[in-house]
Amino acid sequence: MKRIIAQLFNGLLLMAIIASCSDDTKLEEQRKHSNKKATDPFSDVTRTDENINERNPGPGGGIIMQAFYWDVPAGGTWYQTIESKISDWDAAGVSAIWLPPVSKAMNGPNSMGYDPFDYFDFGDYDQQGSVETRFGSRTELESLINTAHQYDIEVYADIVLNHNSGGDLEANPFTGTDTYTDYNPASGKFYRSASDFHPNAVVGSDEGVFGGFPDLSHSTSYVQDWLWNRSDGVGKYYRDELGFDGWRFDYVKGFGGWVVREWMNNVGGFAVGEYWDGNAQLLQDWVNSTNRTASAFDFACYYRMDEAFDGNDLTKLQGDMLWKRDAAKAVTFVTNHDTDEIWDKMHAYAYIFTHEGYPTLFYQDYEEWLDQDKLDNLMWIHRNLATGGTDILYADNDEYVARRNGNPGIVVYLNDSNQWLERWVPTNWGNSVIKDYTGNSNWEPTTQNDQWVKIQCPPNSYTVWSLK
């Protein structure tokens, strides 16, 4: 019996030695392969951690909830719907909510707010077919904002400055025709006429016209006063009377970055612009044109994720993105009320919640379409573990591995294949037990003295590793 046991022991020992040699060989091969593949062509782009924790409920930073989608239910109940969710969102890790345009628009109770008529009617006046907006009354809006503030959640207003809609016809001396540029709002504030739109006596045009709507001219002193200079103008009224903490600027391609700069210099708060372009350099140029007073939605990241996850080529994640250039000014997202192209959304959320930038969660993804528990888990990881700069360790069609270098930091492993995958990777932890905080793997490996470790990822899934 002892001989049999001894023979078994010797056999197992030999197998262990062979496995160890095989692992060592594989480790060396993967180290070489990883070093060859890990290059990020944008890793030397100047980045900054400036204000990275400005909206920071945890070490990893804040999370925005886009608290609406296109064609939310009409009838004036939406503000109440959102208010009822504030407590749960706070517990999940949301630190800010982005509301749709809150003022009365041309289409009144049917409008999503992007055809603004009266910037000071929040559901108070009987005009454009209703008293309340599609979303509710002013009282309900203020209650929602107050409840959010009780949970230390910021509230961002969607600001549409490029164009207006719903004006009456008037003779336009600058065009020689009749135009819909006569605005007589029931609030009695910010009357507009032909001289406040393009063309006018000051300037003929600006950077862009949207949908044939009258194009508001920000170059006239009257418009500037009502938008950001006056103490009772749009910006300061929304800040001081309604309690908004920040701004999402719609269609900023339609006017110069100086407009947002002047708003921010006079009003303050947080700002993000919708500069809809997949070119990261153009996004960076726009941020710079605001004198870095505003962030931009990272459309470059959005399109690279679509190519990577829906196109089954994770090397696309090595492409240029705003967060790689200027993480403090990049707002990342997976979908929004205008565009919903990414089908493999859980991989995309795993990406934005583990990488740099200020991530945005879409209402329907969280409340209706995706696994809420998995999103809650990724938000927890973002807030508590995902800190520091980013190094891409490996990328091919099916695999992507990146490391966040903060304290504690993480290693994220994305698998777009139909089989379990394993990979040796360098970490920032030596002789330490690590675990997968998503629960998708039950491994708890110990990193080697040289900080390398083997990790794994299930088929079509992701794992996120950090110190146990």
Sign of the C-alpha dihedral computed for residues 128, 129, 133 and 138 taken in this order: positive
Closest among 183, 157, 152, 153 to 170, alpha carbons compared? 183
Catalytic residue among 124, 142, 182, 274: 274
Please indicate whether residue 44 is annotated as part of the active site: no
What's 307's DSSP letter? I
* Residue 37 DSSP SS3: helix
Residue located via tokens 């920032």: 428
Show the tokens assigned to 349: 């959320």
Distance from C-alpha of 46 to C-alpha of 43, rounded to nearest angstrom = 8
Contact 227, 139 (CB under 8 A): no
Contact 322, 309 (CB under 8 A): no
Closest among 269, 239, 279, 272 to 257, alpha carbons compared? 272
Contact 427, 435 (CB under 8 A): no
Task: Report, in angstroms and rounded to the nearest whole number, the Rg of the chain calculated over CA atoms.
Answer: 26
| Residue 162 labeled ligand binder | yes
Show the tokens assigned to 7: 């023979």
Q: Are strands 116-118 and 410-415 parallel, antiparallel or unpaired?
A: unpaired
Backbone angles phi, psi at 296, to 5 degrees: -135, 145
Closest among 355, 308, 352 to 334, alpha carbons compared? 352
CA atoms in the 13 A half-sphere facing the CB of 288: 9
Q: Is 1 exposed, middle or buried (0-12, 13-18, 19+ CB in 10 A)?
A: exposed
Distance from C-alpha of 131 to C-alpha of 338, rounded to nearest angstrom = 27
What's 254's DSSP letter? G
3-state helix/strand/coil string of 192-217: ECHHHECCCCCCCCCCCCCCCCCEEC
Please indicate whether residue 444 is annotated as part of the active site: no
Show the tokens assigned to 2: 């002892």
Catalytic residue among 121, 245, 250, 436: 250
Name 251's Cβ contacts closer than 8 Å, sequence gap at least 6: 160, 162, 163, 208, 210, 274, 276
Please provide the DSSP assignment of 69-127 as one string.
-TT---SS-HHHHHHTTHHHHHHHT--EEEPPP-SEETTGGG--SSSEEETT-SS-S-B
Letter for the amino acid at 54? E
Question: CB atoms < 10 A from the CB of 133, how many?
Answer: 31
Distance from C-alpha of 78 to C-alpha of 47, rounded to nearest angstrom = 39
CA distances for 144 relative to 114, 244, 331, angstroms? 21, 11, 24
Binding residues for Ca(2+): 162
Give the catalytic positions in this structure: 250, 274
